[in-house]
């Protein structure tokens, strides 16, 4: 198994991330050693919040929340998933199956022996983290998630499955703007019971899947800037042009946020995780189907406190909260707080306050 490691120098100039690194070595399925990074901030004796990020970000996403959480007396553990941030980066597409991500992070958790945990996950952090909670529940006292879920789709119409597979395998090349136009149309309405196969949300999400996989030099910093920063179309277009001609970081409009999210990836070979993982989201039946069913059964019966806190204005996850509340009958839904998909960055004080109240109460 080929594993890449980002040089430490890539992170030296990042602003707003003054946290001491912690590293844990785990063993992969073929005996390789994989190093996983996490940050550990706040009082050692404080209640633990395990905060897990998704794709295509890293623990930097929580850097604005950490001061609010630690001020509330909370100890924050925020790992980088393998393939992201300061963690090692397996180099092959098959390394990033859903199950391997769960296995790796479950082993990381056991190695660190954290317990009495409140979990918070968003995006892939929720998909992976909820599976870990279900398989190792004694380490967790309560669960919170937002802008994520535990997808289980055994009955997707054949027309949808065929269309998605054909689209993924087609020679069509998407620009970032073409992909974004389709994703913005995911308003959650197509998740209603009355939908037809032609309005199935998977037929929009497949644009993100294909764009990520087909784009060898995925513009990760720019994609995240598009989601988290208010920028003019002109500045975004110019920076995208600089990226297309191989001059990342040289645009006069490059922001500190773009630099932070580009830092883990010295060249495109390091980007296999962000490229591969969207296609592992089980929007159609796949190898994860049975494991998803078992995990959902756990939450259907669990009496652990469960908080659902969604942005409410995220086109990718609008409507998914209804499925989360069906899955976990004891879940409480917090008011929607806005902020889009990555509301950890755009609404750090509001989200931190909700999570602190959940923990301290």
Active site residues: 123, 314, 341
- Give the torsion sign (CA, 151, 154, 159, 163): positive
Residue in 49, 116, 43, 110 with CA at minimum distance from that of residue 78: 49
Written as six digits, the tokens of 100 are 């391997």
- Give the torsion sign (CA, 329, 335, 338, 344): negative
C-alpha 222/C-alpha 175 separation (Å) is 13
Task: Provide the b/e sequence for 61-99 (b: ≥16 CB within 10 Å).
Answer: bbbbbbebbbebebbbbbbbbbbbbbbbbbbeeebbbbe
Whether residue 229 contacts residue 257, with contact meaning beta carbons closer than 8 Å, is answered with yes
Cα–Cα distances in Å, from 218 out to 9, 15, 79, 276?
Answer: 21, 22, 22, 11
- Angle at the Cα of 264 from the Cα atoms of 258 and 265, rounded to 5 degrees: 90
Return the percent helix, strand and coil in the chain, to nearest 5.
45, 15, 40
Other Cβ atoms within 10 Å of 242 Cβ, number: 19
- The single-letter DSSP state of residue 188 is S
């Amino acid at each position: 198994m080929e594993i890449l490691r980002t040089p430490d120098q890539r992170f030296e100039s990042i602003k707003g991330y003054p946290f001491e690194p912690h590293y844990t070595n785990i063993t992969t399925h073929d005996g390789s050693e994989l190093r996983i990074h996490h940050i550990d901030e706040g009082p050692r004796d404080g209640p633990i919040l395990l905060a897990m990020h998704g794709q295509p970000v890293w623990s930097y996403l929580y850097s604005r929340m950490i001061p609010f959480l630690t001020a509330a007396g909370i100890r924050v553990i925020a790992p980088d998933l393998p393939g992201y941030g300061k963690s090692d980066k397996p180099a092959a597409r098959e390394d990033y199956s859903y199950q391997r991500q769960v296995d790796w992070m479950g082993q990381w958790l056991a190695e660190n022996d954290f317990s009495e945990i409140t979990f918070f996950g968003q995006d892939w952090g929720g998909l992976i983290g909820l599976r870990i909670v279900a398989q190792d529940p004694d380490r967790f006292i309560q669960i919170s998630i937002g802008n994520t879920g535990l997808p289980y789709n055994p009955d997707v119409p054949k027309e949808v499955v065929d269309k998605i597979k054909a689209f993924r395998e087609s020679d069509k090349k998407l620009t970032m703007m073409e992909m974004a136009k389709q994703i913005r149309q995911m308003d959650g309405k197509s998740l209603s019971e009355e939908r037809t196969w032609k309005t199935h949300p998977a037929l929009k999400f497949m644009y993100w899947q294909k764009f990520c996989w087909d784009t060898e030099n995925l513009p990760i910093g720019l994609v995240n800037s598009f989601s988290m920063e208010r920028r003019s179309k002109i500045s975004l277009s110019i920076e995208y042009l600089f990226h297309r001609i191989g001059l990342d970081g040289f645009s006069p409009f490059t922001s500190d946020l773009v630099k932070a999210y580009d830092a883990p990836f010295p060249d495109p070979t390091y980007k296999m995780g962000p490229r591969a993982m969207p296609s592992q989201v089980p929007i159609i039946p796949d190898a994860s189907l049975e494991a998803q069913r078992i995990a959902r059964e756990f939450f259907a019966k669990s009496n652990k406190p469960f908080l659902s806190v969604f942005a409410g204005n995220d086109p990718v996850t609008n409507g998914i909260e209804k499925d989360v509340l069906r899955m976990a009958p004891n879940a409480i839904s917090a008011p929607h707080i806005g902020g889009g998909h990555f509301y950890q960055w755009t609404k750090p004080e509001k989200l931190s306050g909700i999570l602190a109240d959940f923990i301290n109460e």
